[in-house]
């Protein structure tokens, strides 16, 4: 039947298109890997010799090491604070009525639209005025605000999908509101909290534009160190570091997808 | 009888503890944005980080052709990026939602979401290696004998847009997929039984029903592109300038924070204006959508 044939051709073309787009998405990662294992300092495709020397050089580079340490400090604080603040507010947003509810939500979600360079500039100006210019406090505060929308969203989605009958059962059996929250709600929310924290941590660790404004030499995070490196040097150390970055991020996300259901968190499939 | 005052406290337990930290964060963000607004109205004192008297001079200076040009270029780049990421993102989102193969689904999901979490610097650096004069694309084309001299891909609007589409694609896919996942497939089946082919069913049923996702995706892609800094800075290399690059240059090369602030404010106003227009333009489309 001609219709069945045309449908098959249509489906086949669709598969080709999707494969091409996935190729476009993966291409930079593959090319960076080729460059990273290249034995020479000059790019050539495919590499004439293979080596691990750029990985050794990247790991030994002092600015990268310091950036990694600073990044861990900033990310650890920022993602944990954002999780506490965001989870509490998502809970209040889901259950309660209070003054300025919509206004606070709108302000907290605004970093999704307000350019990061504007937020960074604002934090820099304020920090300079209160004498905290270029301290870790400023960087952490800035990151908390930037990753908060993602925590809010992730926790809010899990709250929506939570079966409240468990809480009602516990309450009717005499548990106090605090006990219900700690022994029923919190464990049920765990996947949403973990994925919210994970998102926040990954985004904070990789945040660049605002960090460029609010960090100093002493508080420079890894993306800022990498940016400075790319501007000054052209050897493939940066490619080696990128490969480590890509592998680590993809691994974390695959893990998140397998154990937490990335699709549900991102709201791209029906929660069942 | 129940005492009248007691249940009010328990109706919303821990309300204060849950809301105050968030309110504090919101205040911090408002203070930061207010600081930018305030600086944008102050005079620049050369050689000092402090700002001078209140003035509108920063905004009148924005009307100079040099700066007006950067604003136009920025909007054009944002438009191109949003358009192409929609074009490329739609098939991917469709496949993500409609495939029944779990493995294919998770491959598409992780592949399309990973760039979102990589950060701008790593992504941009990767594209430099792909697009450079002795980069991947040029080497392959030269080897294949398709070109004689390397194509100029770096430092062009084309190069910047390609790298930016790579950045905005994940958000676009997430938003389109969210919309597509919530479409009741019975509508398509109904169109099928009424004699519509797959193409026609898609164009007259699925596409209009996914309009909310398209609008959300395009507006977010637009706003994110406006926010991009490392990509136009490194791939544009001074040849392609966006507002973000100008703000950084003024802030850190000339230490003219008031002017950098006024550029930010104007940029923000422009973003909201364009987003508002986009929504307005999309309204007739939305009416065709779900009823």
In this structure, what are the phi and psi dihedrals at residue A50, rounded to the nearest 5 degrees?
-115, 145
Domain ranges of chain B: 65-288
Q: Which of these, B241, B248, B273, lies nearest to B67 by C-alpha position?
A: B241
Q: Using omega within 30 degrees of 0 as the cis cutoff, is the peptide bond preceding A46 cis?
A: yes
Q: Where are the alpha helices (DSSP H) in A162-236?
A: 165-172, 177-180, 186-206, 209-214, 222-232
Which single residue is written with the structure tokens 């006024």? B262
Helices B120-131 and B102-118 meet at what angle, rounded to 10? 100
Interface confidence, given as ipTM, is 0.86
> Would you list the DSSP string of B7-57?
HHHHHSTTHHHHHHHHHHHHHHHHHHHHHHHHHHTEEE-TT-SSEEEE-SH
Measure the CA–CA gap between B250 and B253, rounded to whole angstroms. Answer: 6
Q: Which of these, A222, A231, A230, lies nearest to A202 by C-alpha position?
A: A222
Domain of residue A100: give its range. Answer: 62-265
**Using an 8 Å Cβ cutoff, are A222 and A135 in contact?**
no
**Using an 8 Å Cβ cutoff, are A228 and A122 in contact?**
no
Q: Where are the alpha helices (DSSP H) in A61-183?
A: 62-95, 101-109, 116-129, 136-160, 165-172, 177-180
In this model, does residue A268 exceed pLDDT 60?
Answer: no
| Yes or no, beta carbons of B229 and A117 under 8 Å apart | yes
Closest in A28, A86, A230 to B234, CB measured:
A230
pTM of the model as a whole? 0.87
**Using an 8 Å Cβ cutoff, are B61 and B265 in contact?**
no
In this model, does residue A259 exceed pLDDT 80?
Answer: no
Measure the CA–CA gap between A57 and A52, rounded to whole angstroms. Answer: 9
Closest in B18, B26, B114 to A250, CB measured:
B114
CATH number at A124 reads 1.10.3720.10
Q: Using omega within 30 degrees of 0 as the cis cutoff, is the peptide bond preceding B157 cis?
A: no
Q: Which long-range contacts (CB under 8 A, 24 or more apart) does B243-252 make?
A: B243/A115, B243/B70, B243/B71, B243/B74, B243/B267, B244/A115, B244/A117, B244/A209, B246/B67, B246/B70, B247/A117, B247/A118, B247/A121, B248/A117, B248/A212, B248/A213, B251/A121, B251/A124, B251/A213
B288 touches chain A (CB under 8 A): no
User: Mind listing the pLDDT tens digit for each residue in B88-140?
Assistant: 999 999 888 888 888 888 888 888 887 877 888 888 999 998 998 888 888 88
pLDDT band, residue B66 (cuts 50/70/90): confident
Angstrom distances, CA of residue A134 to CA of A110, A121, A129, A142, A202: 24, 12, 11, 11, 22
Q: What is the mean pLDDT of residues B13-32?
A: 91
Window from A104-108, B43-47, B70-74 with minimum mean pLDDT: B43-47
Measured between its terminal Cα atoms, the distance across chain A in Å is: 38
Measure the CA–CA gap between B9 and B181, rounded to whole angstroms. Answer: 40
Q: Pseudo-torsion of CA B94, B100, B103, B107, nearest 10°?
A: 0
Bridge-based pairing state of the strands B42-44 and B51-54: antiparallel
**Using an 8 Å Cβ cutoff, are A242 and B126 in contact?**
yes
Residue A226 lies in a domain: yes
Class of CATH domain B65-288: mainly alpha
Chain A residues with CB-CB distance to B32 below 8 A: 119, 122-123, 125-126, 142, 145
List the structure tokens of B271.
Answer: 């973003």
pLDDT band, residue A72 (cuts 50/70/90): very high
| Yes or no, beta carbons of B125 and A239 under 8 Å apart | yes
Question: Domain total for chain A?
Answer: 1
**Using an 8 Å Cβ cutoff, are B245 and B66 in contact?**
no
**Using an 8 Å Cβ cutoff, are A100 and A259 in contact?**
no
Query: Among B12, B29, B215, which would you mutate to test the A interface (most chain A Cβ atoms within 10 Å of its Cβ)?
Result: B29
pLDDT band, residue A82 (cuts 50/70/90): very high
| Yes or no, beta carbons of A31 and B10 under 8 Å apart | no
* Residue B193 C-alpha, separation from nearest chain A C-alpha, in angstroms: 14
Measure the CA–CA gap between A211 and A204, rounded to whole angstroms. Answer: 9
Which single residue is written with the structure tokens 């544009």? B236
In this structure, what are the phi and psi dihedrals at residue B52, rounded to the nearest 5 degrees?
-95, -145
Query: Among A121, A144, A203, which would you mutate to test the B interface (most chain B Cβ atoms within 10 Å of its Cβ)?
Result: A121
Which single residue is written with the structure tokens 């861990």? A72
List the structure tokens of B245.
Answer: 């690059």
Residue A115 lies in a domain: yes
User: Mind listing the pLDDT tens digit for each residue in B136-160?
Assistant: 888 888 888 888 888 888 899 999 9
Q: What is the Rg, in whole angstroms, of the alpha carbon atoms belonging to chain B? A: 24
In this model, does residue B225 exceed pLDDT 60?
Answer: yes
pLDDT at B287: 62
**Using an 8 Å Cβ cutoff, are B279 and B54 in contact?**
no
Q: Pseudo-torsion of CA A60, A246, A225, B125, nearest 10°?
A: 110
What 3-state DSSP class applies to B219? helix
Q: Name the closest residue on chain A to residue B244, using Cα atoms.
A: A117
Over the range B2-28, which residues count as b (16 or more CB within 10 Å of their CB) and which as e?
A: eeeeeeeeeebbebeebbebbbebbeb
pLDDT band, residue B199 (cuts 50/70/90): confident
Measure the CA–CA gap between B12 and B25, rounded to whole angstroms. Answer: 21
Give me the half-sphere count of Cα atoms (radius 13 Å) on the Cβ side of residue B185.
5
What 3-state DSSP class applies to B150? coil
List the structure tokens of B261.
Answer: 């602030």
Query: Among A120, A125, A129, A237, which would you mutate to test the B interface (most chain B Cβ atoms within 10 Å of its Cβ)?
Result: A125
pLDDT at A3: 60
User: Mind listing the pLDDT tens digit for each residue in A179-234?
Assistant: 888 888 888 888 888 888 988 998 899 899 999 999 988 899 999 999 999 888 87
């Amino acid at each position: 039947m001609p219709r069945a044939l045309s449908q098959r051709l249509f489906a086949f073309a669709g598969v080709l298109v999707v494969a091409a787009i996935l190729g476009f998405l993966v291409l930079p990662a593959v090319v960076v890997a080729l460059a990273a294992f290249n034995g020479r300092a000059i790019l050539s495709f495919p590499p004439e010799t293979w080596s691990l020397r750029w990985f050794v050089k990247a790991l030994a580079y002092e600015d990268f090491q310091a950036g990694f340490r600073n990044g861990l400090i900033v990310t650890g604080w920022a993602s944990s604070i954002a999780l506490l603040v965001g989870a509490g507010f998502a809970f209040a947003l889901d259950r309660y009525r209070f003054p300025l509810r919509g206004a606070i939500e709108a302000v907290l979600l605004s970093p999704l639209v307000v350019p990061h360079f504007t937020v960074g500039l604002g934090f820099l100006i304020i920090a300079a005025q209160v004498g905290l210019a270029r301290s870790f406090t400023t960087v952490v505060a800035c990151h908390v605000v930037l990753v908060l929308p993602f925590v809010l969203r992730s926790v809010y989605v899990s709250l929506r999908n939570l079966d409240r009958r468990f809480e009602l059962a516990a309450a009717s059996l005499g548990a106090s509101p605090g006990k219900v929250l700690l022994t029923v709600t919190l464990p049920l929310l765990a996947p949403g909290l973990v994925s919210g924290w994970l998102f926040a941590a990954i985004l904070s660790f990789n945040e660049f534009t605002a960090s460029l404004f609010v960090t100093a030499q002493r508080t420079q995070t890894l993306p800022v160190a990498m940016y400075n490196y790319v501007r000054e040097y052209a050897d493939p150390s940066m490619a080696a570091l990128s490969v480590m970055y890509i592998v680590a991020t993809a691994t974390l996300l695959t893990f998140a997808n397998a154990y937490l259901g990335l699709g549900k968190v991102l709201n791209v499939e029906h929660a069942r | 009888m129940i005492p009248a005052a007691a249940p009010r406290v328990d109706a919303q337990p821990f309300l204060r503890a849950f809301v105050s930290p968030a309110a504090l964060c919101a205040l911090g963000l408002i203070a930061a944005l207010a600081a930018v607004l305030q600086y944008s109205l102050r005079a620049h004192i050369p050689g000092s980080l402090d700002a001078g008297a209140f003035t509108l001079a920063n905004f009148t200076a924005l009307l100079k052709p040099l700066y007006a040009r950067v604003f136009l270029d920025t909007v054009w780049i944002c438009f191109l990026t949003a358009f192409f990421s929609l074009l490329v993102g739609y098939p991917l989102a469709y496949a993500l939602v409609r495939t029944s193969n779990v493995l294919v689904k998770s491959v598409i999901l992780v592949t399309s979401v990973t760039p979102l979490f990589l950060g701008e610097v790593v992504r941009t650096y990767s594209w430099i290696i792909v697009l450079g004069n002795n980069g991947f694309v040029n080497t392959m084309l030269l080897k294949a004998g398709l070109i004689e001299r390397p194509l100029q891909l770096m430092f062009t609007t084309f190069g910047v847009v390609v790298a930016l589409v790579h950045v905005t694609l994940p958000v676009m896919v997430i938003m389109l997929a969210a919309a597509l996942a919530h479409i009741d497939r019975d509508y398509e089946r109904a169109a099928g039984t009424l004699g519509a082919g797959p193409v026609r069913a898609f164009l007259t049923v699925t596409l209009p029903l996914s309009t909310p996702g398209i609008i959300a995706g395009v507006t977010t892609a637009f706003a994110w592109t406006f926010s991009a800094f490392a990509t136009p800075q490194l791939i544009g290399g001074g040849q392609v300038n966006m507002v973000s690059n100008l703000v950084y240059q003024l802030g850190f090369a000339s230490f003219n924070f008031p002017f950098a602030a006024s550029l930010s404010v104007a940029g923000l106003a422009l973003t909201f204006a364009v987003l508002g227009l986009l929504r307005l333009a999309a309204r007739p489309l939305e009416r065709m959508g779900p009823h």
